Amino acid sequence: MSNYRGGLVPKGFAANALAFNGRLLRIKAGDVICIPCGPEFLHHIINTSDAELKYLSISTQDRLEVCEYPDSGKIALFSKDPGFIQRRGNTLDYWDGER
């Protein structure tokens, strides 16, 4: 089974955009978004207004997932347990702290 990410943009919040595979799609309050995980489904939400953006993110998290956030230089590891997020520049050598 694949992981899926979804989200709900609550009513009363600004019109925004979803960048999806190089296209910019308008989203608005009340919209529901469902996107399969994987490198072929690149996506992020952009606040195109001066108003506050809030959204609820939901994931099935059925399997281990590695995500890359190129705009902020982060890599994340998610599983059913709490995830791990780190910036690329903070990497450790494999042998760091080993005896």
CA distances in angstroms from 88 to 57, 62, 68, 70, 76, listed in the order given:
24, 25, 10, 10, 10
With a pLDDT cut of 70, the percent of the chain lying above it is 83
pTM of the entire structure? 0.59
Residues near 68 by beta carbon (within 8 Å), at least 6 away in sequence? 74, 75, 76
| The predicted structure's pLDDT at residue 12 | 58
Q: Which residues pair with 18 in a beta bridge?
A: 25, 45
List, in order of start, the domains of the chain with CATH numbers.
Answer: 1-61 (2.60.120.10), 64-99 (no CATH)
- Mean pLDDT computed over 7-11: 64
Q: Say how far apart CA 99 and CA 32 lie, in whole Å.
A: 50
Could you tell me how many residues make up the chain? Answer: 99
Using one digit for the tens of pLDDT, what is the confidence trace for 43-86? 888 888 787 777 777 777 777 788 888 888 888 888 777 678 88
| pLDDT tops 50 at residue 5 | yes
Q: Is 26 helix (H, G, I), strand (E, B) or coil?
A: strand
Residue 45: predicted pLDDT = 81
